[in-house]
Amino acid sequence: MSDLLRELWSRAECEEPVFSAEEIEWSPPGQFELLCDLGLLKETDRATWARCEACGDGHVENVAWVQNATTGRSAPFVPCPENGGAAVSIERLRRWAIDLDAIAQATRRALGLIGNDSALLPGRVWFLGRRHVAGRFRDFFFVLGAAREDEHMLWDRCRQIEDAPSPVILVPSQTPSERRAPAFRLADLASITDDRIVVDLDYLGEALPSERGVTPAKTMASFRVPADATWADLRLVVREHTIVARLRDREQEFGFEDLGLSGIDDRLWQLLCSFARLGGQTPARSRTVSEKGAATFRKQVSDLRQRLSTVFPIDGEPIRAVHGTGGYRCLFQISLDRTDGFPVQPERWEECRFIELPDGRIAISVRTKEVFATRTISEETARRTDLEAAERYGVRTEEYDLRALGLADQSSRPTAEGRTLLEFLRDGGKLARRGDDKDILRLAQRLRDWMGLDAEPFQFTRSRTLWSTLFESSSHRKSSRRS
């Protein structure tokens, strides 16, 4: 008697993973039907060999197709050196192959994996998807024939396994001889029930080396993504404690827990906020950043990349290195939650510059100093915290006409506040007006809103009855004022 369910995992490792009609005939009732119903077995081409039943020897011979002289039809025949041979029924030559893609799919479902799965090496290696297990995100691979002679070829041709931060290899029954990553036998982990394959995730979680200091995310959310979606289709708006994701007509809000983040102090959250403030691109690496600081930053970007790919299962990388600069660029759109306003939030007015351009538009530049705290908590003493700051500088410039800034009316005539701004710019940031000048106070409010700063943009010197801008002011147009 051949137990098909038990045999499935070892047979899957064979060059030709098939069951013969004879094996199926002698299997426990219901097993064959179950495997067919689950889509794991599919009928394949007929056997080209069969056991001789004409003598008692049980030898195996190639099937000969012999034409019947009377009927003209061909029929299978097993030759026998003992007594010439005997005809064999076509039914006995039927075979059923294990559908390896179906096993990969069923395993992916059983583990609740997300992300885009793919066959990396057809028939041998599959990327099944990823999920959070034992304190961190793991990439799951399904590998067949890991103990065959050509094993090294699998690793050479599937660099994705080695490149994955935390790969987990699942095999039917033969673990790799070269230990590249934690490997588990589905023969041990999986069971086949009435309607599906079940994989013992608890066992997997306990057997995997857990990652200390990483917040477990039990309820990672995931965004349903159309198959043809690209990262460019995704827009993230970063709010105070959530992000809002938009992709075509779908919108979803994610909290810290949904993103697998511990809270506002989570370094990945801070990195996400930095990208949002910078409009999706970090500036080139500053010369003052140490190699170690740069490596830590690289690691953080890589972690964020992986986290985003988990929540948003879109093909390809969400963040790319800007070649040769040490900076990074998001392939998706990301901004702070500001419906109108400068895309980057400066820390101080002194980091801003307003220029009136020859065509009348206003160029606003913000010099950003980004400090990425790269915190490493030593394992011996959790109290001691090493803080390393990686500083980056960059300038972000946007050009607006006065109307976009809310400082001109529908026919582009500057409002009183708009005229006040132009006077400031044309006079190098100085303006002689009373301390309670309403236009200046209203302009100040408008600029605070636009730049997302709480501090006042203007300073009033009582002794000289003079207003001055804290930001750098200039104009490419001549002053229209006559003084």
The residues of the shown chain that bind Zn ion, judged by CB under 5 A, are: 52, 54-55, 80, 82
- Closest CB 94 distance from Zn ion, rounded Å: 22
- Closest CB 50 distance from Zn ion, rounded Å: 11
β-partners of residue 271 are: none
- Closest CB 53 distance from Zn ion, rounded Å: 8
Q: In terms of CB distance, is 86 or 147 closer to Zn ion?
A: 86
Per-residue tokens: 101: 């893609």
Q: Which residues of 92-118 are buried (b: 16+ CB within 10 A; e: fewer)?
A: bbbbbbbbbebbbbbbbebbebbbebe
Q: Sign of torsion, CA 340 341 345 349?
A: negative
- C-alpha dihedral (97, 100, 105, 111), degrees to nearest 10: 110
- Closest CB 70 distance from Zn ion, rounded Å: 25
Q: In terms of CB distance, is 80 or 322 closer to Zn ion?
A: 80
- C-alpha dihedral (104, 107, 108, 112), degrees to nearest 10: 180
- Closest CB 87 distance from Zn ion, rounded Å: 13
Q: In terms of CB distance, is 81 or 255 closer to Zn ion?
A: 81
- Closest CB 83 distance from Zn ion, rounded Å: 7
- Closest CB 88 distance from Zn ion, rounded Å: 12
Q: In terms of CB distance, is 28 or 81 closer to Zn ion?
A: 81
Neighbours of 1 (CB within 10 A): 7
Q: In terms of CB distance, is 47 or 100 closer to Zn ion?
A: 47
Cα–chain center distance at 74: 57
Q: In terms of CB distance, is 54 or 187 closer to Zn ion?
A: 54
Q: In terms of CB distance, is 54 or 466 closer to Zn ion?
A: 54
Q: In terms of CB distance, is 82 or 150 closer to Zn ion?
A: 82
Q: What are phi and psi of 33, to 5 degrees?
A: -65, -40
User: What's 285's DSSP letter?
Assistant: B
- Closest CB 48 distance from Zn ion, rounded Å: 17
Nearest residue to 355 via CA among 450, 442, 472: 472
Q: Which residues of 446-483 are buried (b: 16+ CB within 10 A; e: fewer)?
A: bbeebbebeeebbebeeeeeebbbbbbbebeeeeeeee
Residue 411 CA neighbour count, 13 Å, CB half = 1
Q: Are 203 and 133 in contact (CB under 8 A)?
A: no
Q: In terms of CB distance, is 17 or 85 closer to Zn ion?
A: 85
Q: Are 63 and 49 in contact (CB under 8 A)?
A: yes
User: What's 63's DSSP letter?
Assistant: P
- Closest CB 108 distance from Zn ion, rounded Å: 46
Q: Are 310 and 114 in contact (CB under 8 A)?
A: yes
Helix count and strand count (H, E) for the chain? 12, 28
Neighbours of 35 (CB within 10 A): 23
Q: In terms of CB distance, is 81 or 209 closer to Zn ion?
A: 81
- Closest CB 5 distance from Zn ion, rounded Å: 33
Q: Are 361 and 400 in contact (CB under 8 A)?
A: yes
Q: In terms of CB distance, is 58 or 122 closer to Zn ion?
A: 58
- Closest CB 81 distance from Zn ion, rounded Å: 7
Q: Are 367 and 391 in contact (CB under 8 A)?
A: no
What residues contact residue 81 under an 8 Å CB cut-off, 6+ apart?
none
